[in-house]
Amino acid sequence: MAAILLTACGGDGDGGDSPTMMPSPTPTATPTASPTPAGFDVSACLTQEVAPGVSVASLVVPDTLTLDLAAASGFPNGRRLPDQVIDVTLAVIFLDLGVHSATTLAGVPVNPPGNDVQYRPVFPYLAAAQGSPPLATGGASTFDFRSDASSAYVRVDRMGMPAVATALIGSDQKTAYNDADPADDANGDFVPELTEQLTGLTNALADDLVGLGLTPCAKPAG
């Protein structure tokens, strides 16, 4: 619609200046936002290797912590006391290990630089307990190592690979997961649950990871 510009006001009908017709400005097109992936496929996260021949999937299924005494210690071969195990686990399930190392998140400055008390050089290696008053120190003389049969105990939780049971098993599946055994993991009983939870977490966190300059291992679905 043309806009009318009145060049004179209070005209008395005596043939004053006629209104001038001015063209309407051309509307500016609204920019289209870049599409955001509706979801991610986490298959690449599970198949990537953390060491030659060791995939992420093999670390979480079955949920066990393995140790090869002939190999160097430390992730993925067991764990050392100072290892930032949660940060390492989160890195290998969320980040592209072809771009980032497994210790990427462990290097974030918010982490403490080390344990607040020095570890012992001999068994049990843990730092002395800090009590009030502190417990007696010595060569493990205050430890009571039980020798009861396994039937004397009741399992309330199980955790092999750190963070798996905590982050990748939903609340409605935790009891069943804790009651199960590594053999059930190996049968694939919880693979759908692990995949669903990892997908949900990736969908929620992928944009944040990218915003921090990190490359997710998951790929846009479809």
CB crowding 43-79: b at 16 or more within 10 Å, else e: eebbebebeeeebbeebbbbbeeeeeeeeeeebbbeb
In a domain, 132, yes or no: no
pLDDT at res. 47: 95
Q: Which two tokens stand for residue 207?
A: 């944009």
pLDDT digits (tens, 9 = 90+) for 75-85: 888 888 888 88
∠ CA 120-122-124, nearest 5°, is 80
Please report which confidence band the pLDDT of residue 153 belongs to, taking 50, 70 and 90 as the band edges: confident
d(CA 166, CA 205): 17
Considering only 25-34, 36-45, 108-117, which range has the smallest mean pLDDT? 25-34
* Long-range pairs, 73-78, Cβ under 8 A, ≥24: 75/50, 75/102, 76/50, 76/51, 77/51
pLDDT at res. 36: 47
pLDDT at res. 1: 44
In a domain, 117, yes or no: no
Q: Residue 13: is its pLDDT beyond 60?
A: no
In a domain, 16, yes or no: no
In a domain, 204, yes or no: yes
pTM over cut 0.75: no
Helices in the chain by DSSP H: which ranges? 43-47, 56-60, 85-94, 164-167, 174-179, 182-186, 191-211
d(CA 184, CA 42): 22
pLDDT at res. 175: 92
pLDDT at res. 128: 75
d(CA 129, CA 111): 22
d(CA 212, CA 196): 24
Dihedral sign, CA of 13, 17, 18, 24? negative
Please report which confidence band the pLDDT of residue 140 belongs to, taking 50, 70 and 90 as the band edges: very low
In a domain, 6, yes or no: no
pLDDT at res. 3: 42
pLDDT at res. 161: 85
pLDDT at res. 2: 41
Q: Give how far Cα 112 sits from Cα of 109, 116, 126, Å.
A: 8, 9, 17
Considering only 55-59, 115-119, 192-196, which range has the smallest mean pLDDT? 115-119
Mean pLDDT of 37-61: 89
Task: Name residue, tokens 């140790």.
Answer: 67
Q: Residue 7: is its pLDDT beyond 60?
A: no
Please report which confidence band the pLDDT of residue 91 belongs to, taking 50, 70 and 90 as the band edges: very high
In a domain, 8, yes or no: no
In a domain, 133, yes or no: no
Please report which confidence band the pLDDT of residue 8 belongs to, taking 50, 70 and 90 as the band edges: very low
In a domain, 22, yes or no: no
Q: Residue 30: is its pLDDT beyond 90?
A: no
Range of the domain at 77: 38-112+156-222
3-state SS, residue 193 = helix
Domain total for the chain?
Answer: 1
pLDDT at res. 144: 63
